[in-house]
Every structure is written in structure tokens, then in C-alpha cells.
Amino acid sequence: MFTLKGLFIRAGLIAALIFAATATANANAAEKLPVLASFSILGDIVSQVGGERIAVSTLVGPDQDAHVYQPSPVDIKKVTHARLIVVNGLGFEGWLDRLAQSANYKGDIVVASQGIQAREMEDDEDHLMHADPHAWQNPANVVIYARNIVAALSKLDPAGAAVYKKNGDAYIAALQQLDNWVTAEIAAIPPAKRRIITSHDAFHYFGAHYKIEFIAPQGMSTDSEPSAKEVAGMIRQMEKEHIKAVFIENMTSPRLLEQISREAGVEAGGKLYADALSGPQGVAPDYLHLMRYNVGLMLDGLRKN
């Protein structure tokens, strides 16, 4: 038979257990390693490797353009609180050194693309050859990104090294599965039909890996405009070679490519995700979904060529 005193004791024990569980959960949340990634695609890759042991934030978010990014006071706070910053490298984050200096950041900065053989492209402004930063467009390169991130997190958090390796191995297996699928799908398209028009030159790593030619009115960066002569030359090429695979990108203005499509008599085939993810509810909330979505659109367009 329960007494009033017994009920109070039981209630006290339950309250103590709830308090302890809440305190543990809060402590675990507080202990997560704060990691800052430069842009949304890289932030997802870091999250896949780090899992529950890290708290990831990004400087350039979904559907935003890193080429024209300007740091804000909020971003300086993000840098200040980070224990590790992960960047793409290859000249993609030209603003990072100034931002880190402004925040007096003293932690490690990891270049995810370290070890990748960079492709070179001519810059629209100075007409010199520069490294093409869009290496993530080849899943085989993202395998290298993942391994570099595993190593960086393991160095900073040795207690989590086994977790990071396990997560990294699982993610690398998914990347290799993706690569095999894309290779098989593209192989079904005759090589002569593998030509695609996009907003800017973000897909040359993809094109080199899967043997597709990408043509763009803008160069490596989205902050420059092509000349009227270049636009006219592209339209003539589209008409001569019967190129109907034309795509706008999610973080660039559609105006120019819509004009080119209209004058060439070709309907744009949809929106590719090049330098940024979609929002969480969109079609490209993470890298693997982004690639599968993009490839699906590309295949539809290539079959019309």
C-alpha cells in the first residue's frame, strides 16, 4: 500500500532522473565540436563525416552564390566560435583570409580539396589561367574531400576518430555507388550528343570525368557578363550543332540564359544545382540528392540533342 510519504519519494526520484537526463542532453549538445564550412555543399559533406559529434554551420547558405559573397557581422561571430574551418580551396574562397583575420581566428583551416589534381580555366577578367575550384562536381573528388575531413576531425577530436572513420567509409561507399550509377547512365548517351549549355563554367570536372562537353556564357565566376559577340557565337553553335540541353543554375540570374535559349529557339530544361544546395525541403538538400537530381535533368536534355 502506497503512503503519502512514499509517493513524495517516488516523485522526487522521477524528478531527479528527468533533471539528470536533461542535464546530460544539454551537456552533450554543448560538447559538440563547432565546425564552420565555407558553403552549403561542403557543409553537408562535413556533416556526413562528423555526424552527431559536431555542430556544423556555413557561411554561404543554400541557394546562395559564393562567388559574390560578402561577409557579415554574423559571419564574423561564426568564425570566432568555430574550432575548425573547412574550405574548398582552389581559389574558391578568396575572401576567407580577410574574414579569419577580422575574427582573430587562431584555429585550424582545412582545405578539403587538398590532393586533387586541379583543372585550369581562363579567367574572364584577367584572361590568365587559374585553378577551376568546382572540384566537387566529380564524386571521385568528393571521396578525397571526405578523407581529408576525416583526418582533420580525428586530429582535433581523437576520441571520435573511430566514429569519423566509420562515417567517412559509409559516405565514401555511397559516393562510389553514385559514381557507378552516373557512369552507366551517361554511357547510354551517344558521345556526339553529349553537349550541354549551362549558366557558368561550373561543370568541367563533371564533364571531364563523364565525357560531356559543357558550354557556358559566363566563365568560372558568376560576377562577369559575356560580350554580345560571345553570346551570338554561342547561339550560332547551338543552332549548328542542334544543342537542346540548356540549363539555368540555382544561384544565378536566369535572364541571360533565357535570352540565349529564346533566340536559339530552345526551351531551357530546368535548374541545375551547381555551387549550392537547395533548402531542406527542396530537391537538392544534400550532395547525393543534388547529383542525382542534376544528372536526371541532364539525361533528359541530352536525349533531345
Residue 126's pLDDT is 60
* pLDDT tens profile 137-150: 999 999 999 999 99
Instruction: Locate 71 and state its grid cell.
Output: 561577409
Burial class (CB in 10 A: 0-12, 13-18, 19+), 133: buried
Q: How far is CA 174 from CA 48, 152, 179, in A?
A: 11, 21, 9
Exposure of 5 by Cβ count < 10 A (0-12 exposed, 13-18 middle, 19+ buried)? exposed
Q: How far apart are CA 295 and CA 281, in angstroms?
A: 19
Which amino acid would we find at residue 214? F
SS3 293: helix
- Length of the chain equals 305
Q: Mark out the alpha helices in the chain (DSSP H runs).
A: 4-31, 40-50, 73-81, 96-102, 139-156, 161-187, 204-210, 228-241, 255-264, 287-302
How far, in Å, CA of 183 to CA of 178, rounded? 9
Predicted model pTM: 0.82
Q: What is the pLDDT of residue 268?
A: 67
Stretches in the chain below the pLDDT threshold 50:
1-29, 219-223
